[in-house]
Amino acid sequence: MSAVIETHDHNHHHGPAKGWQRWVYTTNHKDIGTLYLWFSFIMFLVGGSMAMVIRAELFQPGLQIVAPEFFNQMTTMHGLIMVFGAVMPAFVGLANWMVPMMVGAPDMALPRMNNLSFWILPFAFTLLLSTLFMEGGAPNFGWTFYAPLSTTYAPDTVTFFIFGVHIIGASSIMGAINIVATILNMRAPGMTLMKMPLFVWTWLITAYLLIAVMPVLAGVVTMMLMDIHFGTSFFSAAGGGDPVLFQHVFWFFGHPEVYIMILPAFGVVSQIIPTFSRKRLFGYTSMVYATSSIAFLSFIVWAHHMFTVGMPLAGELFFMYATMLIAVPTGVKVFNWVTTMFRGSLTFETPMLFATSFVVLFTIGGFSGLMLAIAPADFQYHDTYFVVAHFHYVLVPGAIFGIMAGVYYWLPKWCGNMYNETLGKCHFWLSFVGMNLTFFPMHFVGLAGMPRRIPDYALQFADFNQISSIGGFMFGATQLLFLYIVINAIRSGKPASQQVWESAEGLEWSIPSPAPYHTFSTPPEVK
Amino acid sequence: MSSDSSYQTYYVPEQSKLPIVMAIGLAVTVFGAGSMLNDMSAGRADSLAHWIFYAGALIIAGTMFNWFSKVIKENHAGMYSDQLNRSFVWGMSWFIFSEVMFFAAFFGALYYVRNFAVPWLGGEGEKGISNMLWPQFQATWPLVNMPDATNFTTPKALVDPWHIPLWNTILLLSSSVTVHFAHTALKKENRAGLKLWLFVTVALGFTFLALQIYEYAEAYNHLGLTLNSGIYGSTFFMLTGFHGAHVTIGGIMLTIMLLRVLKGHFKPDDHFGFEAASWYWHFVDVVWVGLFLFVYIL
């Protein structure tokens, strides 16, 4: 692989503009990636603060800190902000930074639309957050916004929530189209599909999922809007509709959505583990096929979220078996990561710590997912803290640890400086302990029957909830350390080399650190 | 992906004010629309929210005009390589795919209520126990008599598929053929044919819309079939309404293409704007065939 650095000056290929205009008018994939990542971190803190409110209220039984109505707004907004404001934009940010550099492209395929995809988000989330201060309060029906809670019994602000979701969806679709076009059309000569780094592969598949299901989300919120304001009866049985229809359409979006939040993390981890094992990734081809199979299966398992809603037996069985099938390609991936490390020359820098704990903890989340997939058993777990434990195990040490691993791994390439390794390890261990303290006890209270989304609970759950809350505060506070580490690296970290990590492979390591404002204006030749 | 030496640099535009203005336009529009609907449902007659909505829509329309003009100018200035044009091809194809999925949500809803929800309410099938909600309810499709019509309008009659909808099917199917003729004419450098066939397509499209509006007026004023007519009215108007909205968008696209043809735009080997509009048109045509089958006939 050869690096071609732009030395001659095109008339429009100078460095970044100065001041705020650089960020607002930018068409540069690196600027837009940075915007996405900072925005998602801010949303992570906002959504995290809401989680702190929830954990504070649940520190002991009884109602002490917030009113139940406000508690419901907190659980709803926490979920919505973390899913749509923190995790998804963070992955789009990573894609913006890395995909063009990894495939040897000069920028994203449609740079102006790329800027639009980002700038919709601050407006959309301002609108969503402003509902907290409106009459009637913010949406309080859970992030899954089941009808009729979100239609007949919803606060007026649900209208702004619906329109907010519309423009967030438009942003995601445009972002995904841009990523697909970049990957399919902008690869450097010789970069065949099966030579692409796995992060690029997982994002290609994720982008396909986004384009397929975000319109369905738009459809379901439109049905809500019509039911609320125009007298239609999609979710009203009196008119011949069905509230369960809401759940079917929502989860047809919702299940691929959870893979949208994990597949790019699979990609990040598949980049990091080989680097710190000093071996090639084991089973590259099977990784590609496993990711594709997971994406395909994600379209035919949605009703496993609704086992208790009253489905025909054939439906329960089909969705149960189809769901269990997902364990096969996921198992292939876990096997490949472990086998990549097997007899490797391992070192555990911060990205590798996050990546290895990803493999272990995500697998725990996968196993509790298998438990939930068993329809007859699910009747016991449904809507308990066991479900909360399950999806936080796949989202926190899954998606969030994947993002953090990626940030530590590529930060030296972005800003040109190394982060402080000691502090990075502190951040990891505090996050690791805090996160397990928070979510592991939730399995126990959930199996014992503690329902989710309730501000009060029976006395016998008090001890485990206190442990969860202490872990939650610990995990939350630790993220301020992460902020410090990143700012410290940008301002005064030691300069990083071009290679950064001794056995990292890929086009992104063939350019200087920090990456020049424009890279690969003429495509490199990939052998 | 050719590795020959004649690589034309991929055009990466300079900084642009268009996206941020567009984002502001979208934000103003949705804030206005949300306030407007809330005020409407709360019965606030003095609401000014619709002005916010109009202002936002105006910003969006103005930005789109400027954005497309800029793209056309850049293309005419020869700044776009073949590779960049392929990005547009991918972009438009996947955009149309996302639209297909949007319609899939509504077709899926129709499928679910017809095959599961309504029969169950009527006591048929494995979940027929839901009949105990309204024991007198009989499941039929089209669903005219709702389980509990207190809050709904019961229609007197339904739209007859073999009058206006049949004509509309003929209109739209022929417009797909005429837009293809226009495309062929463009590729053969037959400008007169291009103008004629494109004009015919636009005319067919807007005739379709006029008939659709007439059909809606009939449904509301004479048949008593409205959005409020239970699940049949809901699926009928949402599916045909969103299709009508897409025909309107496609019609505007083709009208702009006609104006561009009259200005002398497009060459036999460089007319992606035209192609994109025609793909979109074929797409709304295919959706209509689905509608005619599943909403009107079956």
d(CA B260, CA B263): 5
For residue B18, give how far its alpha carbon lies from the nearest alpha carbon of chain A (Å).
Answer: 8
What was the pLDDT predicted at B6? 56
Answer whether residue A35 shows pLDDT above 70.
yes
Using the beta-carbon criterion (under 8 Å), do A176 and B116 form an inter-chain contact?
no
Does A134 contact chain B (CB < 8 Å)?
Answer: no
d(CA B107, CA A301): 19
Sequence-ordered alpha helix ranges (H) in B49-151: 49-76, 82-112, 118-121
pLDDT band at B2 (very low <50, low <70, confident <90, very high): very low
- Residues of A in Cβ contact (< 8 Å) with B33: 163
Look up residue A519 and give its two tokens. Answer: 């890279």
What was the pLDDT predicted at A274? 98
What was the pLDDT predicted at A15? 78
d(CA A218, CA A81): 17
Q: At what angle do helices A158-185 and A88-103 cross, to 10 degrees?
A: 10
Which among B18, B41, B231 has the least Cβ separation from residue A241? B231
Nearest CA in chain B to A228: B41
Which among B112, B130, B235 has the least Cβ separation from residue A248? B112
What was the pLDDT predicted at A490? 97
Using the beta-carbon criterion (under 8 Å), do B90 and A216 form an inter-chain contact?
no
Which among A111, A167, A233 has the least Cβ separation from residue B13? A111
For residue B181, give how far its alpha carbon lies from the nearest alpha carbon of chain A (Å).
Answer: 29
Q: Which DSSP helix (H) or strand (E) runs through A127?
A: helix A111-130
Q: Is A417 helix (H, G, I), strand (E, B) or coil?
A: strand
Give contacts of B 183-242 with A, CB under 8 A. 226-228, 230-235, 237-238
- Compute the radius of gyration of chain B from its Cα atoms: 23
pLDDT band at B204 (very low <50, low <70, confident <90, very high): very high
- Compute the radius of gyration of chain A from its Cα atoms: 23
What was the pLDDT predicted at A14? 63
Which among A17, A312, A521 has the least Cβ separation from residue B127? A312
* Single-letter code of the amino acid located at B25: G
Give contacts of A 142-201 with B, CB under 8 A. 156, 159-160, 162-164, 166-167, 170, 173, 176-178, 180-182, 184-187, 189-190
**Domains of chain B by residue range:** 14-79, 81-297
Answer whether residue A6 shows pLDDT above 60.
no
Nearest CA in chain A to B99: A215
Look up residue B52 and give its two tokens. Answer: 């916010």
- Residues of B in Cβ contact (< 8 Å) with A164: 30
What was the pLDDT predicted at B298? 87
Neighbours of B61 (CB within 10 A): 11
Q: Report the Cα–Cα distance between both ends of chain B, in Å, rounded.
A: 48
What was the pLDDT predicted at A9? 43
d(CA A318, CA B20): 46
Answer whether residue B3 shows pLDDT above 50.
no
What was the pLDDT predicted at A307? 97
Mean pLDDT for B55-74 is 97
- Residue partners of A465: CB distance under 8 A and separation at least 6: A58, A59, A60, A61, A441, A445, A457
Look up residue A35 and give its two tokens. Answer: 């915007």
Q: Is A450 helix (H, G, I), strand (E, B) or coil?
A: coil
Q: Which residue has the tokens 């996405």?
A: A36
d(CA B278, CA A162): 31
Q: Which residues of A have a catalytic role annotated?
A: 78, 107, 143, 171-172, 255, 257, 259, 270, 304-305, 330, 333, 452
CB A265 within 8 A of CB A396: no
Q: Is A451 helix (H, G, I), strand (E, B) or coil?
A: strand
Spell B112-148 as b/e; 16+ CB within 10 A means b: bbbebbbbbbbbeeebeebbeebeebebeebbbebbb
CB A348 within 8 A of CB A356: yes
Q: Is A384 helix (H, G, I), strand (E, B) or coil?
A: strand
Does A10 contact chain B (CB < 8 Å)?
Answer: yes
d(CA A329, CA A199): 17
Q: Which DSSP helix (H) or strand (E) runs through B26?
A: helix B18-42
Nearest CA in chain A to B63: A116
pLDDT band at B4 (very low <50, low <70, confident <90, very high): very low
% of chain A beyond a pLDDT of 70: 97
**Global pTM?**
0.95
Look up residue B5 and give its two tokens. Answer: 């030496």
d(CA A428, CA A431): 5
Does B83 contact chain A (CB < 8 Å)?
Answer: yes
Using the beta-carbon criterion (under 8 Å), do A115 and B231 form an inter-chain contact?
no
Does A228 contact chain B (CB < 8 Å)?
Answer: yes
Answer whether residue B269 shows pLDDT above 70.
yes
* Single-letter code of the amino acid located at A238: A
Which residue, A208, A173, A182, is CA-closest to A29?
A182
Answer whether residue A1 shows pLDDT above 60.
no
d(CA B202, CA A136): 47
- With respect to CATH, is domain B14-79 assigned 1.10.287.70? yes
d(CA A325, CA A330): 9
Give the distance between the most distant pair of CA atoms in chain B: 77
Beta pairing partners, B267: B270
% of chain B beyond a pLDDT of 70: 98
Answer whether residue B237 shows pLDDT above 90.
yes
3-state secondary structure B181-240: HHHHHHHCCCHHHHHHHHHHHHHHHHHHHHHHHHHHHHHHHHHCCCCCCHHHHHHHHHHH
Does B64 contact chain A (CB < 8 Å)?
Answer: no
Class (C level, CATH) for A29-510: mainly alpha
Q: Given phi > 0 = left and psi -120 to 50 = alpha, else beta, which region is A154?
A: beta
Does B34 contact chain A (CB < 8 Å)?
Answer: yes
Does A305 contact chain B (CB < 8 Å)?
Answer: no
Spell A83-113 as b/e; 16+ CB within 10 A means b: bbbbbbbbbbbbbbbbbbbbbbbbbbbbbbb
Mutation site for A-interface testing, chosen from B5, B8, B14, B144 by largest number of A Cβ within 10 Å: B14
- DSSP codes joined into one string, A281-312: PTTHHHHHHHHHHHHHHGGG-GGGG-GGG---
pLDDT band at B132 (very low <50, low <70, confident <90, very high): very high
Using the beta-carbon criterion (under 8 Å), do B10 and A106 form an inter-chain contact?
yes
Dihedral sign computed on CA atoms, order A202, A207, A213, A217: positive
What was the pLDDT predicted at A10? 46
d(CA B242, CA A379): 39
Q: What is the pLDDT of residues A383-439, one digit of tens each?
A: 999 999 999 999 999 999 999 999 999 999 999 999 999 999 999 999 999 999 999
pLDDT band at A13 (very low <50, low <70, confident <90, very high): low
CB A101 within 8 A of CB A508: yes
Q: Which residue has the tokens 């601050």?
A: A122
Mean pLDDT for A51-71 is 97
Spell B86-99 as b/e; 16+ CB within 10 A means b: bbbbbbbebbebbb
- Residues of A in Cβ contact (< 8 Å) with B130: 237
pLDDT band at A2 (very low <50, low <70, confident <90, very high): very low
d(CA A72, CA A267): 34
**A126 phi, psi to nearest 5 deg:** -60, -45
Give the distance between the most distant pair of CA atoms in chain A: 71
- Residues of B in Cβ contact (< 8 Å) with A21: 15
d(CA B130, CA B117): 9
d(CA B78, CA A338): 51
d(CA A470, CA B160): 66
Using the beta-carbon criterion (under 8 Å), do A119 and B10 form an inter-chain contact?
no
d(CA A416, CA A210): 32
Mean pLDDT for A178-183 is 98
Q: What CATH architecture is B81-297?
A: Up-down Bundle (1.20)
**A119 phi, psi to nearest 5 deg:** -70, -10
What was the pLDDT predicted at B9? 86
Dihedral, CA of residue A65, residue A69, residue A71 and residue A74, to nearest 10: -130
Neighbours of B245 (CB within 10 A): 11
Does A517 contact chain B (CB < 8 Å)?
Answer: no
d(CA A138, CA A341): 47
Q: Report the Cα–Cα distance between both ends of chain A, in Å, rounded.
A: 6
